[in-house]
Amino acid sequence: MEVNKLWFFEKFVIKKFFAPKLTQKTNFFRLLALAQRSWLGLRDALLSIKKSETNKWLIMIIEDLIDQLTQGSTFSQAMGNHDYFFEEEEIALVQSAETMGNLPEILEEIAKELENSERINGKIRKAMTYPIVLIVFAIVAVTILLIYVIPTIVTMFPNQESLPSLTKFMMWASTFLQKTRYLILIIIIGAIVLYRFLYKSVLTFKIFIDKLMVTLPAVSGVVKTYYMYRFSKLLSQLYSAWVSPILSLKLMGNTFTNFFYRKKVIEIKENLNAGFSFAESMEGSSLFDPILVQIIHVGEDTGNITEVLKKMSDFYRDILQNRIDILMSLIEPILMAMIAVVIGAIVGAIFLPMAELVNVIK
């Protein structure tokens, strides 16, 4: 019972609020691979990593790994008890490496992939920072103008019925925002929470959103390239670790979050069971680049599909980074134009009556 309580606490509390960052996880695998290459045993390597680790939650995980290894469990079994931290494919790779005897190489491969993921995530965060900051400052500026500036300016004009239509509209917006600003804030927060709930719990809503992600002109390029990168990278890793194609596809199906890519991976797995090849199972799908299908077909014919998939994953990784840059270069001017229209309308509502007043005085 105590073990179940600990597992519940770790999975639902640590994962949500205190889980070690991807950088720390990458460093963990990198140090473990380095220790293994130095012919240091797993238990001794974990003890060494624990001494230099500063994240107390990762220290707790390492301590549990050490305890389980001491009790005779394999490293993959010990990792399986912390599936909120270690991904299924990572556990499968380590399990296969324990059988094949190439654990240092696999640990280093996992560390490299985590570094790539960290680099891509960092690029996405960097690309999104400017638009988010821009939107926040725009919302703050519009709120200040509507709540504080517009009412002050309007009091300068005794005859408010003669004000321009744009100014009257902004006065109405100012009054509405003053009365309902807290309600609007609650609605925005509620909409975010509702979206997350619907996406996780309502299949039809998830299918609708995932369909948009793979069909919207600018966004679909990024999403499809990301999943082709993940598909080729994970498959090459699992193949190099001698994980069976069926198990590899099962793990990938659990990893992919987009409904359509997960469904397609399951279909490929079923086709392989029925005797079809990878290329035959992927042909005709709009989710995969025809070039990838052709390359996999050549790799299957020549028997070097692992190397082919590794090269394709590097190819799609570079394309993904370029497409992220292109997407953000499209989003930024659109945001700037929208903000300029809103701010311009408010400024116009302020200065139009002032210009009329100046004309009357002259």
- What is the model's pLDDT at position 151? 77
pLDDT tens column, 149-186: 777 777 776 666 667 787 788 888 888 888 888 888 89
- What is the model's pLDDT at position 198? 92
* CA distance from start to end of the chain: 86
Residue bearing the bigger pLDDT, 158 or 53? 53
Contacts of 172 (CB under 8 A, 6+ apart): none
CA dist., res. 317 & res. 232, Å (int): 10
Please, which pLDDT band fits residue 193 given cuts at 50, 70 and 90? very high
Q: For 81-107, what is the mean pLDDT? A: 82
Helices (H), the chain: 2-9, 22-37, 42-52, 56-70, 75-80, 88-100, 103-144, 150-154, 165-201, 203-215, 217-240, 245-255, 259-273, 278-282, 290-302, 305-361
Going from the C-alpha of 139 to that of each of 145, 164, 175, 185, the distances in angstroms are 10, 24, 17, 12
Mean pLDDT across the chain:
81
Q: For 204-232, what is the mean pLDDT? A: 89
Going from the C-alpha of 94 to that of each of 67, 101, 305, the distances in angstroms are 18, 10, 21
- What is the model's pLDDT at position 43? 87
Please, which pLDDT band fits residue 208 given cuts at 50, 70 and 90? very high
2-16, 95-109, 191-205, 290-304: segment of lowest average pLDDT: 2-16
Please, which pLDDT band fits residue 3 given cuts at 50, 70 and 90? very low
What whole-number percentage of the chain has pLDDT above 70? 90
pLDDT tens column, 327-342: 877 877 888 888 888 8
**Sequence letter at residue 251:** L
- What is the model's pLDDT at position 17? 59
pLDDT tens column, 252-309: 887 888 999 989 988 888 888 888 888 888 888 888 888 888 888 888 788 788 888 8
Cβ-contact 269, 295 below 8 angstroms: no
DSSP secondary structure string for all residues of 56-93: HHHHHHHHHHHHHHHTT--HHHHHHTTTTTS-HHHHHH
12-21, 24-33, 280-289: segment of lowest average pLDDT: 12-21
- What is the model's pLDDT at position 1? 37
- Cβ atoms < 10 Å from Cβ of 206: 16
What whole-number percentage of the chain has pLDDT above 90? 6
Cβ-contact 146, 170 below 8 angstroms: yes
CA dist., res. 237 & res. 102, Å (int): 13
- What is the model's pLDDT at position 293? 85
- What is the model's pLDDT at position 2? 42
Q: Please give the biggest Cα pair distance in the chain.
A: 94
- What is the model's pLDDT at position 5? 47
Domain range annotation of the chain: 2-86
Residue bearing the bigger pLDDT, 6 or 325? 325
- What is the model's pLDDT at position 7? 52
Cβ-contact 35, 45 below 8 angstroms: yes
